[in-house]
Amino acid sequence: MPDAVRALAPAKINLTLHVTGQRADGYHLLDSLVVFTEAGDGLTLADGPGLSLDLTGPAAAALAVEPDNLVLRAARAVGASRAAFTLDKRLPVASGMGGGSSDAAAALKLLAGRGFAPPDTAGLMRLGADLPVCMAAPAPCRMRGLGEAVEPLAGVPALWLLLVNPGQGLSTPAVFKALSRRDNPPMPEVLPRWSDDRALAEWLAAGRNDLEPPARGIMPGIGDLLAGLAAQPGCLLARMTGSGATCFGIFAGEGALQDAARALAAPGRFVLATRSLPSAR
């Protein structure tokens, strides 16, 4: 019997998220700069008599074990039938950090170590639009199209990140439905190499998350989180990730990051001080 193996399913952070169009079938076109963090969910794979998933961790109660859970769907997609997964669910559900997709990508990577070839890009997209970029984790990436066009990026430094979620989920379809403009400008075709975190934060300030305004309209508390982050000493940039409701602040150093984490802690909130993973070169 093979030994149990474990993988991190890191949080996905959209440093930018430009909505650049909408196809006739209703799907939206995106242009996003994505990084992954040192923190996330943990997934363990062991041999089992069938396909199963056990849940542990502080966010486990919010994630029901159902036949369409992404970890199980990913395993079925590659034909794995004797796999016992345990998911240590630490990231909030429906929080804009790609938790479910990152969990599924971790499952596919663990299964690849046991001889199950991952699906092609079309197969990944059938599991979810964030699967291709999560399969590229932990490399910083540019994600375009519907999510299928993923380009690993050089020159992205590590960032001290404070992640704050109000403790409420936010529906991605509802946020897209509330979007007022769907043909916004993309990022520049050629992205620079940033010398350090301050240079990247300064460049990001000219970018956007086009889903932030509709998300704030649905959940006004997002604006309070962003204002709270921006007001902290050492905060270089405050923005929402994905379709929300998690917001992030980029901080000038670990000391300022930890001070902000203590200042913004509140009952019911998810507050996580972490660091993003840089480019390999």
Which of the residues 41, 130, 197, 210 is marked catalytic?
130
- Range with the poorest average pLDDT among 9-13, 68-72, 238-242, 246-250: 68-72
Give residue 67's pLDDT. Answer: 62
List domains and CATH numbers for the chain: 5-152 (3.30.230.10), 160-275 (3.30.70.890)
Structure tokens at 17: 């998220």
pLDDT level of residue 3 (50, 70, 90 thresholds): confident
**Beta carbons within 8 Å of 189's beta carbon, 6+ residues apart:** none
User: Could you read off the pLDDT of 24-80 as tens digits, one per residue?
Assistant: 999 999 999 999 999 999 999 999 999 999 999 999 988 876 667 899 999 999 999
**What average pLDDT score do residues 194-211 get?**
97
Structure tokens at 95: 């929080």
Q: Which residues of 232-264 are buried (b: 16+ CB within 10 A; e: fewer)?
A: bebbbbbbbbbbbbbbbbbbeeeebbebbbeeb
Which of the residues 12, 41, 88, 109 is marked catalytic?
12
CA gap 25, 27 in Å, rounded: 6
Is 12 one of the annotated active-site residues of the chain? yes
Cα 49 off chain centre by: 32
Is 130 one of the annotated active-site residues of the chain? yes
CA gap 50, 181 in Å, rounded: 47
pLDDT over 90 at 97, yes or no: yes
Cα 168 off chain centre by: 16
CB distance 245 to 97 below 8 Å? no
Number of residues assigned to the chain? 281
User: Could you read off the pLDDT of 149-186 as tens digits, one per residue?
Assistant: 999 999 999 999 999 999 988 999 999 999 999 999 99
CB distance 105 to 118 below 8 Å? no
Give residue 98's pLDDT. Answer: 94
Give residue 75's pLDDT. Answer: 97
pLDDT over 60 at 1, yes or no: no
Cα 265 off chain centre by: 21
* Interstrand relation of 83-88 and 51-56 (parallel, antiparallel or unpaired): parallel
Give residue 66's pLDDT. Answer: 64
Q: Which pTM was predicted? A: 0.96
